[in-house]
């Protein structure tokens, strides 16, 4: 694969009203991106978040380190107007970087059917995911303005057209595997390619079929948590958090298992290479919102997707998956 990537979150709103990165200093940003470029041997980084100042700073730093940047603004639970506004502002940032010579791709959204309010019924992401499983139960107003897939692709087309007014580089969208995307307006096909117990037998064929669009295909996101059995949960490990009594801790019974995470990421990278994907982005470098603890009952990193453990005092320590990805991404010996 040409694109050997990882996701780097600069701060995104969470389901409980907080943010994934309340603080992100310049020193931390520079240190982490340097590790991504140097220690992990990444050639690209997908930079996510809703703070344009942070997005710009991270992207400029990444470009300076020789990384290709996939700029990926995210505003979970925003409505359509706010989402388009963020895309417009991010496309201006991408345009500035592109004109300055940076290798930049703009990702106009991520799984908007569930992350954005209005396309699918539900007040939050969890409710919209549940609604997708039962479309017959949707209120009539969600069909009154036209079939939801048509409205969804109309939104994407509008977002692409708006972005191209400010940015002349490649544009894509990070689709959920369930989303029926019209890829005609885009330069690349990109999907969040998590594997779990439900799609383990079909993921290869589903990804291979995306080559039919005649454009490069990229796994915009894939990952695994660090507990025994995590590969069966794919992208849903974050739901295994006990949020009762105003606290957050991993649900009882989960056994920390970094080898599971490392093995699943390695297996998926082998799969992506085998079916000819142009690239892939591991989710994710670090997850401060899932802090590590020496107490297994408090160790939220167990259900996190980071390649490094994030400790409450600000330290980070590499996990087995860090070594596995670094080995997979390392340049071939000459």
The DSSP 8-state label assigned to residue 304 in this structure reads: -
Mean pLDDT of 298-320: 96
pLDDT at 316: 96
Confidence of residue 13 (pLDDT cuts 50, 70, 90): confident
pLDDT in tens, 142-178: 777 778 888 899 999 999 999 999 999 999 999 999 9
Integer Cα distance of 34 and 142 in angstroms: 46
Residue ranges of the domains in the chain? 3-329
Give 162's contacts (C-beta < 8 A, 6+ positions apart): 84, 87, 88, 91
Alpha helix positions (H), 256-319: 258-274
pLDDT at 304: 95
Contact call for residues 44 and 5 (beta carbons, < 8 A): yes
The rounded mean pLDDT for the chain is: 94
The model's pTM is 0.95
Contact call for residues 1 and 272 (beta carbons, < 8 A): yes
Give 70's contacts (C-beta < 8 A, 6+ positions apart): 5, 44, 45, 46, 47, 104, 105, 106, 107, 172, 220, 281
Integer Cα distance of 131 and 279 in angstroms: 31
**By mean pLDDT, which of 77-86, 125-134, 257-266, 318-327 is the weakest?**
125-134
CATH architecture of the domain with residue range 3-329? Alpha-Beta Barrel (3.20)
């Amino acid at each position: 694969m040409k694109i050997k990537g990882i996701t780097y979150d600069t701060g995104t709103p969470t389901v409980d009203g907080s943010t994934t990165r309340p603080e992100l200093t310049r020193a931390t940003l520079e240190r982490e991106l340097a590790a991504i470029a140097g220690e992990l041997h990444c050639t690209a980084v997908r930079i996510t978040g809703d703070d344009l100042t942070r997005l710009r700073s991270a992207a400029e730093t990444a470009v300076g380190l020789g990384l290709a940047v996939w700029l990926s603004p995210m505003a979970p639970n925003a409505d359509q107007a706010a989402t388009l506004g963020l895309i417009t502002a991010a496309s201006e940032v991408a345009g500035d970087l592109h004109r300055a010579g940076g290798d930049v791709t703009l990702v106009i959204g991520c799984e908007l059917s569930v992350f954005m309010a209005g396309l699918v019924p539900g007040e939050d992401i969890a409710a919209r995911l549940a609604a997708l499983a039962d479309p017959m139960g949707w209120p009539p107003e969600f069909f009154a303005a036209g079939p939801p897939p048509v409205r969804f692709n109309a939104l994407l087309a509008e977002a692409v057209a708006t972005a191209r007014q400010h940015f002349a580089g490649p544009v894509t969208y990070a689709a959920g595997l369930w989303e029926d995307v019209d890829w005609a307006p885009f330069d690349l096909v990109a999907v969040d390619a998590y594997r779990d117990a439900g799609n383990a037998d079909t993921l290869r064929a589903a990804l291979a079929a995306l080559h039919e669009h005649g454009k490069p295909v990229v796994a915009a996101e894939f990952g695994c948590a660090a507990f025994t059995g995590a590969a069966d949960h794919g992208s849903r490990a974050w739901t295994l958090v006990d949020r009762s009594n105003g606290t957050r801790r991993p649900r009882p019974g989960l056994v920390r298992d970094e080898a599971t995470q490392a093995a699943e990421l390695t297996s998926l990278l082998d799969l992506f290479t085998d079916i000819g994907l142009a690239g892939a982005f591991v989710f994710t470098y670090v997850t401060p919102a899932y802090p590590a603890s020496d107490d297994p009952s408090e160790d939220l990193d167990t259900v996190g997707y980071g390649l490094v453990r994030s400790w409450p005092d600000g330290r980070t320590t590499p996990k087995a998956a860090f070594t596995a990805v670094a080995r997979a991404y390392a340049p071939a010996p000459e």
